[in-house]
Copies of this chain bind each other. A is one copy, B any other.
């Protein structure tokens, strides 16, 4: 029996996609080989790579003046690749809205003059700060933000008001709603929430930003190197990129990003509406900043929270324990979480409330 998996990542893929991967695992496309053993210099892999990149361009409507790059290492590697590739004046501005943006900010400090423009740490990251235009440095190379905060369940309600190129970590919200790529300088996203199994990271970067990497930048972290080789500079993680292609094909089939955004908003609304309808559960995020991907909630009692997590697991609602810095519960409801999963969760929450209030 398959469970409903509320993991913050790696997270649930569409069941149809898993079944297709399973079916073709020993013999991909009549090649007589598994995808896992395809040479990355073969026509089969070229087709997978090209289709994957084309689907990203199509589904996110990525303008032609942006590179689409697939790299390894996770978003954590991008915390360093971003300054190593983009620092020209040596200055960059950061907004800290949670653990991952804090890490990105810390790593960048190794490589330049990094300004912390705003932080939501004062209220345990339950909101998104909105600095005024003049708080940013006009001569900074970029502004870094984390668009959706996986741990704290917040999301930027709108982009910061600045002319700086915006670098956005979209690991936990990529492809979840329609975005205007042209408003960004660079977008990066670890794949393991909405794109693919863990092991690959998507980078979308405006071409004109790539003119001079820092001399200490490792070749493998240079966007220009991967852009020039169409993401086949060295052996890529063939399986992860194949799985991404299958996921994106599926997303296209069900109507693309506008269609999944509608479903995502409905799923999140169902859950928030229920939480807001009862004093038994609380979500402590400022309403305008609520994530539609990660929904943290608590009962107010550590003991009850633990009981909730245990009973939910027994009921087949797994990986719902909140991150240790927030506590309580967190339902990560990425693209592939079906409406039925939300219904089952709300049903369970009602029953748990009845039995424990």
Contact = CB atoms under 8 A, between A and B. Distances in A.
Identical subunits present: 2
B37 A13 contact: yes
A287 to B, nearest CB: 28
Interface string A101-125: 0000001001100000000000000
Interface stretch (A235-243, A258-266, A300-308): A235-243
Contacts of A36: 10, 13, 18, 197-198, 243
B74 A74 contact: no
Interface string A33-73: 11011111010000000000000000000000000000011
Interface in A231-280: 233-240, 243
Interface string A9-36: 1111101001101100111000111101
A80 B218 contact: yes
Interface residues of A, number: 66
A111 B216 CA distance: 8
B21 A2 contact: no
Contact of A22 (B3, B22, B75, B79): B22
Nearest to A100: B234
Nearest to A200: B199
Contacts of A38: 7, 10
A36 B243 CA distance: 10
Name, among A2, A21, A32, A34, the residue most crowded by chain B CB atoms within 10 Å (CB to CB).
A34
A84 interface: yes
Contacts of A318: 32-33
Nearest to A8: B39
Contact of A216 (B32, B39, B216, B220): B216
A89 interface: no
A199 B8 contact: no
Contact of A12 (B2, B25, B37, B200): B37
A33 B80 contact: no
A282 interface: no
Given A39-B319, A215-B110, A239-B197, A234 B32 contact: no
Given A25-B25, A74-B235, A218-B84, A34 B13 contact: yes
Nearest to A190: B235
Contacts of A42: 7, 319
16 contacts: A7-B37, A7-B39, A8-B39, A10-B235, A11-B37, A13-B36, A22-B25, A25-B25, A39-B319, A73-B77, A75-B234, A77-B220, A80-B219, A84-B218, A199-B238, A239-B240
Given A2-B27, A32-B318, A197-B238, 5 more contacts: A7-B37, A9-B39, A72-B237, A74-B220, A197-B237
- Minimum-distance CB pairs A-B, first 9: A199-B237, A3-B32, A36-B197, A80-B218, A76-B234, A216-B216, A22-B25, A72-B72, A7-B39
